[in-house]
Amino acid sequence: MEIRVIVPIVGEKWLEDARQTYAAHAQPGTRVSAVAVQKGPASIESRRDEALATPEVLRLAQEAEREGVQAVIIDCMGDPGMEPAREVVSIPVIGPALACMHLAAMLAHRFSIITLPPSSIPGVEEQVWRYGLQQRLASVRAIEATVLAIKGGHDAVLHMLTEAAARAVLEDGAGAIIPGCTGMAGMAPKVQAALAERGCEVPVLDPPAVAVKLAESLIEMGLSHSRHTYPQPPAKEIVGY
């Protein structure tokens, strides 16, 4: 079984790091490979960044399918390109945010998302509406950090994340927490433990882990997205791709 992680940001710098992040959650028999887009932004913090990464996500999803890979994960909580990529391949295409929101809704009555930077809150709210889960959203909170900054400053980020999560539970009534950036990978267990110490016994999801488990589950069940919802696009002339 092989799962392909598509990193929607350019550069090889974080690629092996990303691969290992996902591989750490895979079963022994699962091979996890990772590729990065050749064109696109250096990080994803806006709808523009998502839009510019998307054409490459489609190409890489098709490449993965041709190579016999059985599922694709897009390494970003914006799930950039997930819907169009589902049209162009038959293997599962997984957005970690979609997977986390539904898992959180199975474990708690309401969940909060802790995103960054604060200016991205409206976009995350729209994403929740798009996935039809607004009734289950307790709040979207943000920490004051850029995506690139969190790579180097784990302790400070961890502190901010825990603080925002605690307020989400105590003030907004969240019963589960979703870190809003795959760059926060690995922090979930620490945040969950810190919250429990403060009396907030809520699950904190680790987006890469959730995405890998969903990918493996779908492969094992022989399931993928609906071709009725995501029909194969008609063949036509396309320029520049």
DSSP codes, 154-215: HHHHHHHHHHHHHHHHHHH--SEEEES-GGGTT-HHHHHHHHHHTT----B--HHHHHHHHH
Q: What character string, x for contact with a copy of itself (CB under 8 A) and - otherwise, covers 48-77?
A: xxxxx-xx--x-------------------
Residue placing its CB nearer to a copy of itself in the complex, 167 or 213: 213
Structure tokens at 31: 């091979």
* By CB under 8 A, residue 10 contacts a copy of itself: yes
User: What region, left, alpha or beta, does residue 199 occupy, with left being phi > 0 and alpha being psi -120 to 50 degrees?
Assistant: left
Structure tokens at 196: 């429990």
* By CB under 8 A, residue 175 contacts a copy of itself: yes
* DSSP β-bridge partners for residue 111: 137, 176
Site for a copy of itself in 91-120 (CB under 8 A): 98-99, 102-103, 105-110, 117, 119-120
> Could you tell me which stretch among 12-20, 133-141, 155-163, 178-186 binds a copy of itself (CB under 8 A)?
133-141
Structure tokens at 77: 């909580």
CB of 184 to a copy of itself, least distance (A): 15
* By CB under 8 A, residue 155 contacts a copy of itself: no
* By CB under 8 A, residue 227 contacts a copy of itself: yes
